[in-house]
Amino acid sequence: MPSSSDPISFETVLESQYSGIRTPRRAVIRDAEQWRAFVREATNVDGANPAAPAEFDFTREMAIVAAMGMRRSGGYSIAIENIFSAEGKLRVVVREVAPKTGSMTTQALTAPLVVVRLARSNDPVSFVERPDEL
C-alpha cells in the first residue's frame, strides 16, 4: 500500500464456505435494493432461501463482498484482510487460499464468501488480490 494510506475499520458480518454465488465476484453494495438482490442469490443454496444474514443502514454504511465462486472441493477460503484509503480510493485487500495440489480435502462443492460492513463512502473502490496456497 502507498505510504500515505489510512486504514479503514470494518466488521466481518458473514463468512461462509457454502453460498449461492457460483462465479468469482468482488462487489460494493451501497443500497438496500442491491443488498436484497445479493442476499437472494448468496443464500440460495440447494433451493433454500433463508433471511438476510445482516441488516445495514445504507445511509451510514456499505457492504463489500468477495466471493470465490464454485469450487469442486473443500480447502478453499476467502478473507478481506485490510481496507485502506489512499489517493481518493478505497483499496480492499482480498486473500484467497487454495489447497496445495494433491492435498487431502473434503469432496464437496463449496462457494466461499465473505461480506464486511464499513462506513459509507462514495470513493471508488479497487480490489488488491493476494492469492495463497495451504
Digit-coded pLDDT (tens) for 31-43: 999 999 999 899 8
> From CA 49, how far away is CA 45, in angstroms rounded?
7
Summarised one tens digit per residue, pLDDT across range 112-123 is: 999 999 999 999
Residue 76 clears pLDDT 80, i.e. is over it: yes
CB-based contact 54:15 (threshold 8 Å): no
The structural domains of the chain, with segments of one domain joined by +, span 6-133
C-alpha cell at 15: 463468512
Q: Write down the pLDDT at residue 31.
A: 97
133: pLDDT strictly greater than 70? no
Tell me the Cα Rg of the chain.
15
Q: Are 70 and 109 in contact (CB under 8 A)?
A: yes
pLDDT at 47: 60
Note the pTM of the prediction, 2 decimals: 0.89
